Structure 1
Amino acid sequence: MLPKPFLQHWAAKLTAELAVDSLPFVEQMAARDRQGAVDYLKGAARRYTTIRADLGSKAHDLFERLIRGEDVGRVHPDLEPYRKHFEEFLAAVRPELVGAEDVAWSDQHEYAGSFDAMLRVWLDDDNRPTPDRSGRSVLLMVDWKTSKDTYADVALQMSAYANADRIISADGSSRPMPEFDGAAVLHVTADQWAFKPVRIDPEVYGYFLTLRKVFTWDREVSKTVIGKALAASSKKIVTGTQRRAG
């Protein structure tokens, strides 16, 4: 429900770059099949997001296996940097897994979503992780991100998870959502990783609930607010200009 006007410019940029970088190929394609060339260029953004989503899904699966202590063995070369960085995170923070890939369910506000992990970590007085677990214990809602950057709307997503009413596990069992001390996002790319705190306080959650209401307006209420015409013209008027054009 958040406006994202930058996506239009991003998609246009990808299309323009593809056209310029593959100009001879596009010219040959257009000579044989103009519509095929148009569709090829038009699909640039969709193909990119599909590839990135596939890599992200595989990385998430890898992270879950690693956080559960599984020996993953050899991985695809494209995933190797992500495995290396995630293992560096585990060594630097040494979190305790409390839960992963369960569903956060809100009965009160009617939403649900699958979260990546609930982790217990130990922090010193400067809120730095203590891998020897000598600091104070905190429970965090945690999300893995493999995108180019971390974006502010992750706070809306994580506040929704943390403030849900209950957790539904894969076996269908349900338990109350625990109280969290905070949230964090682990941002992992092929080049680096960073573990960043995320606000999930009542102010942030309030913005999520506002967007949740906008969702209801968009999908349900907006379709009910305009009724059938109480009165209307009996027939369509045809102007002289239209008659002459006919």
Structure 2
Amino acid sequence: MGKVRTIKRSGSRFYVDAETAEKVPGVTSVIEMLPKPFLKFWAARLTAETAVQNLAAVSSIAERDEAGAIDYLKNAHSRYTKLRAQVGSDAHDMFERMIRGERIGRVHPDMEPYKKGFEEFLEAVGPQLVRAEDVAWSDTHNYAGSFDAILRLHLDADGKPDPDGRPHLVMTDWKTSANTYPEVALQMAAYAHADWIIAPDGSREPMPEFDGAAVLHITPEGWEFIPVRIDAEVFEVFLTLRRVFEWDKNVSKTVLGRAIASSAKKLVTGTQRRSR
């Protein structure tokens, strides 16, 4: 296994071994096979809110460019998602630097609440970093993904942080979205049940056994460190989605053959042919 790079194909992310060119789907792309009917209602509401909150501007645009006004509204959810993704990316970068012990000075005001929350988390939980932002790769089930961190936590018998408690190896994820959703369990189970950890230089080592998993949900309003199930039952649901992904991207394109019979074509008369 060599260095790993990522590519996008048909809206899905794939991880590629640079030496062998082996290509496997990313964990997040696999989880996107999970039905999310609520998203269409969220997108519709966001579009309506954008129209109402920017009524004068939308009317002005529509007077000059009706298609432009339509595009502005229909892409409201994409703009919001892109903005939130950038906030999440910036926060993840800062979290990694902080947990590696790097001193973080002044940050953008938008990042200040996340910085403060993460400082509180480090003080309250006292995590020891084992790995961060490496690739989890499964030869067995053909998928890969980049996990946020593997931490060693000292916990008491009730699972509370305790410097004198028993060490626990924990797969960890940082979330900066408004809410934490159950799908995070599928994501973290996939990482924890992978075969290998691959470093940026291409070196790899077996994925260790974990004592559990947890997600740090951190927003400008506060933070929570929440245990997450990553057991065999949860992992089996992820593997089901992996099979759905294979159906969607590959198998579904092979199941319909060429027609072996069809209705008669419409008769074209000689008069019609001569008039063309």
Identify the TM-score tier after normalising by the shorter chain.
over 0.9
Deviations 1:3-34 (A, max 9, x none): 01111000110110111111111111111111
1:65 aligns with 2:97: yes
Amino acid at match of 1:194: E
1:164 aligns with 2:188: no
Partner of 2:122: helix, strand, or coil?
helix
**Runs (4+) off by over 4 Å:** none
Alignment of 1:114-193 (within 5 A): 114-130=146-162, 133-193=163-223
Q: How many residues align?
A: 236
Amino acid at match of 2:68: G
Alignment of 1:12-23 (within 5 A): 12-23=44-55
Deviation at 1:233, TM superposition (A): 2.7
User: Aligned-pair RMSD on alpha carbons?
Assistant: 1.0
Partner of 1:175: helix, strand, or coil?
strand
Bigger relative CO (Cα 8 Å, ≥ 6 apart): 2
Distance 1:196 1:190 in 2: 17
- Residue 44 (structure 1) aligns with: 76
Distance 2:157 2:149 in 1: 24
Deviations 1:164-195 (A, max 9, x none): 00000011101000000000000000110000
Deviation at 1:231, TM superposition (A): 1.5
TM-score normalised by L of structure 1: 0.94
1:197 aligns with 2:238: no
Distance 1:37 1:185 in 2: 40
Distance 2:48 2:143 in 1: 38
Deviation at 1:236, TM superposition (A): 3.6
Partner of 1:35: helix, strand, or coil?
helix
- Residue 221 (structure 1) aligns with: 251
Amino acid at match of 2:84: R
Deviation at 1:237, TM superposition (A): 7.0
Percent of paired sites with the same residue: 66
- Residue 27 (structure 1) aligns with: 59
Deviations 1:130-172 (A, max 9, x none): 1xx2011100000000000100000000000000000000111
- Residue 274 (structure 2) aligns with: none
Partner of 2:50: helix, strand, or coil?
helix
TM-score normalised by L of structure 2: 0.84
- Residue 101 (structure 1) aligns with: 133
Amino acid at match of 1:169: A
- Residue 81 (structure 1) aligns with: 113
Q: Check 1:236–1:199 CA distance in 2 against 1; reply closer, same or farther (3 A cut).
A: farther
Deviations 1:206-245 (A, max 9, x none): 100011001001111111111111112341479xxxxxxx
Distance 2:170 2:52 in 1: 46
